[in-house]
């Protein structure tokens, strides 16, 4: 019989009432679990004292599973059964997975639904299952460390995660038997960890350079509430790319031929080690042994910095874009928070500091800061701090809308809208006597439905027959705090209604996990890229047209033949770039052309000022010759 616990008179009851809740950072490279203990949020170590759990799972034929560092040691030896960076596959269909190419070097099993299961010696594993295995390991660790059963967890996800990816994360938690108190965006968690929610109101930038991904988020603290103003970044840029650049350079220096996967993984591990040492040391010696051959190579921080500078610059360009999206200037950013192991690279810190013009927060371990913020939030949501009124808001990453006639998208909730949110819009029937309406819910920025991601379809039936355009159907979109969407359609004269909870076209049914990933999705990231491309093209066009216009007015007057020809060439160069699809090249072309036309622009200005002083209008001048 279990003994009843009785508190001593005068002893606080708090320890018995304190509910055990954790924050989980389910990372691409590493995962962590944290909890508030005696009023302080701390990450929880495993029995060996390690806090970071490598997000690696190895499946063995006997059915055993290894998770974490143990599994990672087999990454080169047993690559196909050792799953790394599974977060990249979450909520994605085969098409997208194939597009990942080398980054996902597994054998995939796709069937009619296009499910990207990973073939392992222990059977096909879905990404959701792999994530669940990581979560289970973290929960086990937490329950050991805290000495009790968890009431729930706050799990963090990137701010840009779409419905499918969020749902996949929730499904993984469900398989691992964890109650999800809330999905929280990673940047918001980091800001909370620094207590910025208690600080001065204003704009906060969260720069997160992890292992495989880069995210920049612009938040605003307003009346104690966090809003995400914009998110940006690069889902294929992170510490792994620094490793790759260094590994390739090392192979070149040592004239090593990278003839197979295991050599390349071995070199990557070496490069990672060198990189991490170089965060503290000015130079490092790498010892490499391949078969019979032994090599030694000294790498300096200076050499490393030169190799990775283009990658770091790329993150800074994304910061600039995110600020533009948020419509704020770098000088308006009050606080900069550094997240992710790769922000330990001194060059990264220096570039970020230079760009924002202020020192970033680095006091909390950048690996742990997200988990710590999640733990603080979990503590509040579990009810351990009933008086707290902390409210966190996220945004939706891509617009949500409906298909209308002609296969066009009508956006109901625009991207970067804070959640939770509900928006309604009225529609009407297209034909006389129409009694049903097909509702197709889509996500994306493009105008054509075929270019957007299809989320769900349902029908509203029983509309009383009326003339076309007479029925009034109100469609309401509602996104809850976890970023999940519900859609309701109601015919207002008759009151008939129909609704759907939009899970992506897969989900945990009562059937097996095998039913989970049914649909293949268009690439949400692609939509974002396409949008970025269009924006740059528009900017390029604006510059080209304005220069051509100006040249036709006063080009002959203000430039000599050589100069005119030169500028003509520069314009042609940008025209060519603009017609291509390389966003960065266009961006660079725009600044090149602006620079090339600087002199002309200033001559124009001088000339026009002079003429204006003489009492002539600028237009007159253009025609006067």
- Residues noted as catalytic: 25, 87, 186, 208
Of 356, 344, 213, 229, the closest CA to residue 281 belongs to: 344
Indicate which of ligand ADP, Mg ion, none lies near residue 213 (CB less than 5 to 8 Å, by partner kind): ligand ADP
Q: Does 233 bind Mg ion (CB under 5 A)?
A: no
- Closest C-alpha among 158, 153, 190, 147 to residue 172: 153
Q: Which phi and psi angles does 420 have, rounded to 5°?
A: -70, 155
Long-range CB contact pairs, 46-52, < 8 A, 24+: 46/141, 47/144, 51/367, 51/368, 52/367
Spell out the alpha helix ranges (H) of 101-176: 127-146, 163-175
Is residue 272 involved in binding ligand ADP (CB under 6 A)? Answer: yes
Spatial strand order of the sheet with 421-427 comes to: 421-427, 473-479, 485-491, 497-502
- The conformation of residue 520, written as its DSSP 8-state character, comes to -
CA–CA distance, 433 with 470 (Å, rounded to integer):
10
Q: Per CB under 6 A, does 210 bind ligand ADP?
A: yes
Decide if residue 366 touches Mg ion (CB under 5 A): no
Select the span of 90-98, 210-218, 261-269, 279-287 touching Mg ion (CB under 5 A): 210-218
554 close to 621: Cβ distance less than 8 angstroms: yes
Q: How many residues of this chain interact with Mg ion, rule: CB under 5 A?
A: 2
Q: Does 27 bind Mg ion (CB under 5 A)?
A: yes
CB atoms within 10 A of CB 434: 17
Report the partner that residue 212 touches, choosing among Mg ion, ligand ADP, none (CB closer than 5 to 8 A by kind). Answer: ligand ADP
Torsion-angle region of residue 464: left (phi > 0), alpha (psi -120 to 50) or beta?
A: beta
Q: Which stretch binds ligand ADP (CB under 6 A): 21-29, 76-84, 138-146, 546-554?
A: 21-29
Residue 555 contacts ligand ADP per CB under 6 A: no
CB of 156 to Mg ion, least distance (A): 8
Site string (348-367) toward ligand ADP, x via CB under 6 A: -------------------x
Let me know how long the chain is. 625
Binding pattern for the stretch 239-268 against ligand ADP, x by CB under 6 A and - elsewhere? xx----------------------------
Residue 276 found at the interface with ligand ADP (CB under 6 A): yes
Contact assessment for residue 85 and residue 211, using Cβ atoms and an 8 Å cutoff? yes
- Closest approach, Cβ 394 to ligand ADP, in A, equals 18
Sign of the four-CA dihedral 302, 307, 310, 315:
negative
The reply on whether position 342 binds ligand ADP by CB under 6 A is yes
Write out the DSSP string of 553-589: HHHHHHS-HHHHHHHHHHHHHHHHHHHS--HHHHHHH
Find the binding residues for ligand ADP in span 496-525 (CB under 6 A).
none
Task: Kindly state the smallest distance separating residue 475's Cβ from ligand ADP, in Å.
Answer: 37
The binder of 344, among ligand ADP, Mg ion, none, by C-beta within 5 to 8 A per type, is ligand ADP
C-alpha angle 458-461-462 in degrees, rounded to nearest 5: 165
Q: Is 210 in the site for Mg ion (CB under 5 A)?
A: yes
Burial status of residue 562 (CB atoms within 10 A of its CB: 0-12, 13-18, 19 or more): exposed
**Closer of 319 and 456 to Mg ion (Cβ):** 319
* CB nearer to ligand ADP: pick between 105 and 622: 105
Q: Which of 22, 53, 345, 593 binds ligand ADP (CB under 6 A)?
A: 345
Query: How far, in Å, CA of 508 to CA of 8, rounded?
Result: 47
Segment lying near Mg ion (by CB under 5 A), choices 203-211, 319-327, 507-515, 588-596: 203-211
* 275 is a contact residue toward ligand ADP (CB under 6 A): yes
Q: Which residues inside 220-239 make contact with ligand ADP, applying CB under 6 A? A: 238-239
Question: Which parts of this chain interact with Mg ion (CB under 5 A)?
Answer: 27, 210
Question: Which parts of this chain interact with ligand ADP (CB under 6 A)?
Answer: 27-30, 210-213, 238-240, 272, 275-276, 279, 340-342, 344-345, 367
């Amino acid at each position: 019989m279990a003994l009843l616990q009785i508190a001593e008179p005068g002893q606080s009851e708090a320890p018995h009432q304190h509910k055990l809740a954790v924050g989980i950072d389910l990372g691409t490279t590493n995962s962590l679990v944290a909890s508030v203990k005696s009023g302080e949020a701390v990450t929880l170590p495993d029995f060996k004292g390690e806090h970071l759990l490598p997000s690696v799972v190895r499946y063995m034929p006997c059915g055993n599973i290894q998770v974490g560092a143990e599994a990672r040691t087999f990454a080169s030896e047993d690559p196909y059964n050792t799953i790394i960076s599974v977060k990249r596959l979450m909520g994605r269909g085969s098409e997208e997975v194939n597009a990942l190419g080398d980054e996902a070097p597994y054998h995939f099993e796709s069937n009619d639904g296009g499910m990207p299961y990973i073939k392992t010696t222990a059977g096909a594993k879905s990404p959701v299952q792999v994530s669940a295995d990581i979560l289970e390991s973290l929960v086990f660790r937490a329950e050991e460390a805290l000495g009790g059963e968890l009431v729930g967890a706050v799990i963090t996800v990137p701010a840009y995660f779409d419905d499918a990816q969020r749902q996949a994360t929730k499904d993984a938690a469900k398989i691992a038997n964890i109650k999800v108190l809330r999905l929280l965006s990673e940047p918001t968690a980091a800001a909370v960890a620094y207590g910025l929610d208690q600080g001065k109101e204003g704009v906060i930038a969260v720069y997160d350079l992890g292992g495989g991904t880069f995210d920049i988020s612009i938040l605003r603290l307003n009346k104690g509430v966090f809003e995400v103003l914009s998110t940006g970044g690069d889902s294929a840029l992170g510490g792994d790319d620094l490793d790759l650049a260094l590994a390739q350079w090392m192979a070149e220096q040592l004239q090593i031929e990278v003839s197979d996967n295991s050599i390349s993984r071995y070199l990557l591990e070496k490069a990672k080690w060198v990189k991490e040492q170089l965060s503290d040391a000015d130079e490092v010696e790498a010892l490499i042994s391949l078969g019979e051959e032994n090599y030694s190579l000294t790498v300096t921080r200076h050499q490393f910095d030169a190799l990775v500078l283009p990658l770091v610059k790329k993150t800074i360009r994304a910061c600039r874009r995110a600020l533009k999206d948020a419509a704020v200037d770098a000088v308006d950013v009050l606080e900069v928070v550094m997240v992710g192991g790769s922000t330990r690279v001194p060059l990264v810190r220096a570039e970020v500091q230079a760009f924002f013009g202020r020192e970033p927060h680095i006091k909390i371990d950048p690996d742990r800061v997200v988990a710590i913020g999640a733990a603080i939030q979990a503590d509040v949501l579990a009810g351990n701090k009933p008086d707290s009124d902390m409210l966190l808001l996220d945004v939706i990453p891509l617009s949500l809308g409906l298909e209308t006639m002609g296969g066009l998208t009508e956006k109901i909730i625009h991207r970067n809208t804070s959640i939770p949110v509900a928006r309604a819009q009225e529609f009407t029937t297209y034909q006389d006597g129409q009694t049903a309406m097909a509702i197709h819910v889509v996500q994306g920025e493009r105008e054509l439905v075929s270019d957007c991601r299809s989320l769900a379809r349902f029908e509203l039936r029983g509309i009383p027959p009326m003339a076309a355009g007479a029925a009034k159907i109100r469609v309401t979109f509602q996104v809850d705090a976890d970023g999940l969407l519900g859609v309701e359609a109601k015919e207002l004269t008759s009151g008939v209604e129909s609704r759907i909870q939009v899970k992506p076209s897969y989900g945990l049914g009562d059937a097996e996990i095998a039913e989970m990933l049914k649909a293949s999705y268009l690439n949400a990231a692609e939509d974002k890229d396409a949008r970025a491309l269009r924006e740059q093209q528009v900017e390029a066009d604006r510059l080209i047209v304005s220069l051509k216009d100006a040249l036709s007015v006063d080009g002959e007057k203000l430039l000599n033949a050589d100069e005119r020809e030169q500028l003509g060439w520069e314009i042609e160069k940008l025209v060519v770039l603009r017609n291509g699809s390389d966003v960065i090249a266009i961006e660079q072309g725009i600044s090149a052309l602006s620079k090339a036309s600087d002199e002309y622009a200033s001559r124009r200005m001088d000339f026009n000022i002079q003429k204006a002083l003489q009492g002539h209008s600028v237009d007159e001048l253009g025609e006067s010759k």
